[in-house]
Chains A and B, each alone.
Chain A
Amino acid sequence: MPTLIRWTGQRAEAAEDPFTNVADETPTPRGDVIVSLQRFQAEGRRLLAEGRKVGVRIESNEAVEDIADDLPQLAVVALVFPKFRHGQAYSSARILRERYGYQGEVRAVGDVLREQARFMIRCGVDAFEPADGAAPQDLTHVAFRFRHVYQRAADGREPAFVERQAS
């Protein structure tokens, strides 16, 4: 299983990954799988009926709106960063969490580097497949670098203007 790091809300932890990332041309193995949007649209019903946990991989040019109705059945949404500077997935993550109230795992895959983990966590990502060999403590360190935030996002952190109201 590839390295998976989970964000608990307090810290990053190494985790066992029960999911297999399945490429489109590959037959589905047993167990929990993450498949492409296209494959899910073709076979998703069947896969879920087989009692496995199913995740969908959303490419940077695909819309999370297309799985909005299926979210209650999805254990994982994997958002692809084709290059770390392709930031569409930040919007996708926030929409999943804030618009659809998605409670499952939002996983960052692709060119996932520790210096961007802070932004990903704020947007609602809670699992990572790092591309730079980052260890859980690297992500924990990056996540808490800033004592305050200026704006609300998907992580529930109070923005500065709320802190100011309290004082």
Chain B
Amino acid sequence: MYRYDAIDAEMLADRTQEFREQCARRLAGEITEDQFKPIRLMNGLYLQLHAYMLRIAIPYGALNAEKLRKLAFIVRTYDKGYGHFTTRTNLQLHWIKLRDAPDILEHLAQVGMHAIQTSGNDIRNVTADPHAGATADEVDDPRIWAEAIRQWSTFHPEFSFLPRKFKIALTASPADRAATKVYDIGLRLHRSDDGELGFEVLVGGGLGRTPYLGATIRKHLPVKSLLSYLQAILRVYNRHGRRDNIWKARIKVLVASLGAEAFAREVEAEWEASDAAHVDLPDTELARIRAAFAPRGFARLAARSAAFEAAKADPAFARFVRRNVKAHKIPGYAIVDVSLKEPGETPGDCTADQMEAVADLAERYSLDEARVSYDQNLILPHVKLDDVPAVWKALGAAGLATPNRGLVTDIIACPGLDYCALANARAIPIAQAIARRFADPARAEAVGELGVRISGCINACGHHHVGAIGILGVDKKGEEFYQVSLGGSPEADAALGQILGPALPADKVAGAVEEMVEVYLRERQGQERFIDTFRRTGLAPFKEAVYADAH
């Protein structure tokens, strides 16, 4: 894991001091809210329905025991004892006071954490495959490049006042666990035919009011040119992105209006006119970052663990293994999913006690690493197969062992109208109602892989566009209604969902999901997942079932 050196630490200290001064000026009335707001946002501080919300950055989802324990301390001391993990692998605290924010940033800085650029019209937290460094199917560790981008983009003097927010995601695997096709820039690591490591560069993906899948503007960019090329893209966007209309200000609109090819030519021209050597990292720095992520501490183990196999005699453990334990590239190890989706709970929420439980497990059983995944769950990436039974028991005691990774109860939901000033409807109660219907783990497993995603407004923070079942909360004459879409996917086979029919009232949504699951179970052929059946049958049978008794 990358550890902050003295320079990184001084960056945070200076930033904390700067924000302390800016906060004091605001509280004393020396600057207006209009002038303070972008400053506050660049430090991840939103004003929401009930209080300020602080969005703490977790760069490429990487955590360790020290960070988790500090987060537990912060949520106990300054919040109401819990936090919420987001689809951007950040942690949101919903009950923050502005006057406490500088102290919170100071605490975070002590463990190399911050809330820098988690909001505002700047380059946001860079996300990457949460299985990085643990999966056999990656060509390189994407965290190396995510860390390089993190540093380059932090306090970037040219790109801190963009037309709108800017998000970058990386994957190094053919299976895309970072949703790179729906990002402003998606970077896909690969090797060219002659073995050179490079990026396929996609631009202009995004969800929200007008969802787009990203277009490839460059099939192969040698890795050493990453930052200079990103500078070219960002500069074209900074100069030409629209600033007259907040709904047309993302780069996806610029790419769509120019056309991907014309946009690519603009970027190439800008790149060629610039001095790449001025921007790109020297080999020494790349080597330094790479060394931070080199595998260390792994034992030489047999591929098969007798203890692990024996424990599967317990059907509950066997189910946990089927759903929440993934293959690791090192023999004798496994990747373990930690579920923040216990049916009936708020998806993605994590109490201080749970954070400490995961911290202990990470330290003892996972080479002191934990990750946040973009589906609002956690991961212990390096667990010995021998230890998985003990880890499972400990997770169970903390309410973190629901065996539902990827299932219908592994719902992604934004905070919605319960917390968020932008929302039109609540998302959390809908998630809770659906999850309760499928709370029986056998039933959930029988249904199989099914991504339910719920957003409380068109900003789509719940990623409903790429849900196999997507649910969008809308306000119809002051009442909460929900528009259902089917067939979305965030993965390598990315697709945007299709609207099913008229919006449903809140109390009909969970029932509609059940009806659609019944249709799937009836129609499925062979090993089809929900999305496969949908792709074969189309909307018709689902639409018929849900709207049969027209409300």
Task: Give residues in B with beta carbon < 8 Å to A.
Answer: 5, 7-8, 10-11, 14-15, 17-18, 22, 31, 35, 38-39, 121, 151-152, 154-162, 227, 235, 238-239, 243, 273-275, 278-279, 281-282, 284-285, 288
Question: Given A63, A90, A118, A147, which contacts B238 in the complex, CB threshold below 8 Å?
Answer: A90
Are A165 and B156 neighbours in the complex by a CB distance under 8 Å? no
Chain B contact residues, majority secondary structure: helix
Are A150 and B152 neighbours in the complex by a CB distance under 8 Å? yes
Question: Given A86, A115, A148, which contacts B11 in the complex, CB threshold below 8 Å?
Answer: A148
- When C-beta atoms are compared, the residue in chain A nearest to B273 turns out to be A99
Task: Give residues in A with beta carbon < 8 Å to B.
Answer: 60, 63, 84-88, 90-92, 94, 98-99, 113, 115-116, 118-120, 122-123, 132, 145-153, 160-161, 163-165
Are B282 and A165 neighbours in the complex by a CB distance under 8 Å? yes
What are 26 residue pairs bridging A and B, where the CB atoms are less than 8 Å apart in the complex?
Answer: A63-B239, A85-B121, A86-B161, A87-B121, A87-B160, A87-B161, A87-B238, A90-B158, A90-B159, A90-B161, A90-B238, A91-B235, A115-B31, A115-B35, A119-B160, A119-B161, A123-B157, A123-B158, A146-B14, A148-B14, A149-B155, A150-B11, A150-B152, A151-B152, A161-B284, A165-B282
- When C-beta atoms are compared, the residue in chain B nearest to A155 turns out to be B157
- When C-beta atoms are compared, the residue in chain A nearest to B17 turns out to be A145
- When C-beta atoms are compared, the residue in chain B nearest to A113 turns out to be B35
Q: How far, in whole Å, are A118 and B15 apart by their CA atoms in the complex? A: 12
Given known contacts A115-B35, A123-B157, is B238 in contact with A150 (CB within 8 Å)? no
Q: How far, in whole Å, are A147 and B6 apart by their CA atoms in the complex? A: 11
Are A90 and B157 neighbours in the complex by a CB distance under 8 Å? yes
* Residues of the B chain whose Cβ atoms lie less than 8 Å from the Cβ of A146: 11, 14-15, 18, 155
Are B285 and A94 neighbours in the complex by a CB distance under 8 Å? no
* Residues of the A chain whose Cβ atoms lie less than 8 Å from the Cβ of B7: 148, 160, 163-164
**Distance to closest chain A CB from B242 (angstroms):** 11
* Residues of the A chain whose Cβ atoms lie less than 8 Å from the Cβ of B288: 164
* Residues of the B chain whose Cβ atoms lie less than 8 Å from the Cβ of A63: 239
* Residues of the B chain whose Cβ atoms lie less than 8 Å from the Cβ of A120: 157
**A-B pairs with the 9 shortest C-beta distances?**
A87-B161, A122-B157, A161-B285, A119-B157, A90-B158, A150-B151, A146-B14, A160-B7, A145-B18
**Distance to closest chain A CB from B491 (angstroms):** 32
* Residues of the A chain whose Cβ atoms lie less than 8 Å from the Cβ of B243: 60, 86
Q: How far, in whole Å, are A87 and B160 apart by their CA atoms in the complex? A: 7
Are A85 and B161 neighbours in the complex by a CB distance under 8 Å? yes
Are A151 and B238 neighbours in the complex by a CB distance under 8 Å? no
**Distance to closest chain B CB from A9 (angstroms):** 16
Q: How far, in whole Å, are A145 and B31 apart by their CA atoms in the complex? A: 19
Q: How far, in whole Å, are A119 and B22 apart by their CA atoms in the complex? A: 16
Question: Given A116, A147, A153, A161, which contacts B10 in the complex, CB threshold below 8 Å?
Answer: A147
**Distance to closest chain A CB from B39 (angstroms):** 6
Q: How far, in whole Å, are A136 and B525 apart by their CA atoms in the complex? A: 74
